[in-house]
Amino acid sequence: MKKGRLSETPLTKREIQRRYYLKNRARILERARQYLKEHPEQRKATVDKYRRGNAAACKQRIKEWKARNKERSLAINRKSYAAHPERSLAATSRWRSEHPERAKKIAREWVAKNKERVREMGRLWRGRNKEHVRELARQWHAANPERAKELKRRWTQNNRGKRVAYTAARRSRKYSATPSWVSKKDIAALYVEAARLGLTVDHIIPLKNPTVCGLHVPWNLQLLTGSDNSSKGNRMAFGD
């Protein structure tokens, strides 16, 4: 039997390519970077094609990367939002419409973790939109009279001290704003009529207003529904 070298198993094309890549990795990567830099459209098409064919894997990798780089991920999101606010809002709105239950869950969790911030944001928004808030309150009271009464009763029970202080202050203002020569019977008659009709008595020019304070006299009183009276507040009229 002749002696000779043992024949080696022939390499596959894939193995040859792998060995070449490992041997020349730095040069190949540099050439690839240069090519992609010179052909941005081709790069985008290649990336999009890969993402479409590997959607699940891409999502998982992005999720893992964000978990490892939370601060950097937030910084990128903020930068993108600042550069493209309309596009970001449209994307967020589209995602919420496609995932309503998940969006609600995320919102509830965020609110639970940021209660103080939510209160502050609400306070600032109400301060900037006073008229809108009053209008919304008026509409809600008109649509939910029984619910409004129940909430008011519950608030009074839980805040008796505040309610007593408010009533005392209002009584004091009424007393100070009632001239001695005004007929108390005429004023009382208006309150009796309001009770009979199921309405409330409102001061046309409020007893306490930043601009001017009215008097507790018959010609400064009017009958309103409870919801209208609450919505009017201490303004001269609904549109003021």
User: pLDDT 10s per residue in the chain (240 long)?
Assistant: 455 555 567 888 888 888 998 999 999 999 988 888 888 888 888 888 888 888 899 989 999 999 999 999 999 988 988 898 898 889 889 999 999 999 999 999 999 999 999 999 999 999 999 889 888 888 888 889 899 889 888 888 888 777 766 675 566 566 677 787 878 788 888 888 888 888 888 888 887 777 777 788 888 888 888 777 777 766 766 444
Which domain covers residue 144, as residue numbers? 124-232
CA gap 77, 197 in Å, rounded: 59
CA gap 58, 183 in Å, rounded: 82
Please check whether residue 137 lies inside any domain of the structure: yes
Full-model pTM:
0.41
Please check whether residue 61 lies inside any domain of the structure: no
> Cβ distance 215 to 178 under 8 Å?
yes
Please check whether residue 136 lies inside any domain of the structure: yes
Please check whether residue 183 lies inside any domain of the structure: yes
Place of tokens 């309001």: 194
Please check whether residue 31 lies inside any domain of the structure: no
* Number of structural domains the chain divides into: 1
Please check whether residue 187 lies inside any domain of the structure: yes
Please check whether residue 43 lies inside any domain of the structure: no
* Helix%, strand%, coil% for the chain, nearest 5: 75, 5, 20
Place of tokens 């018959």: 218
Please check whether residue 63 lies inside any domain of the structure: no
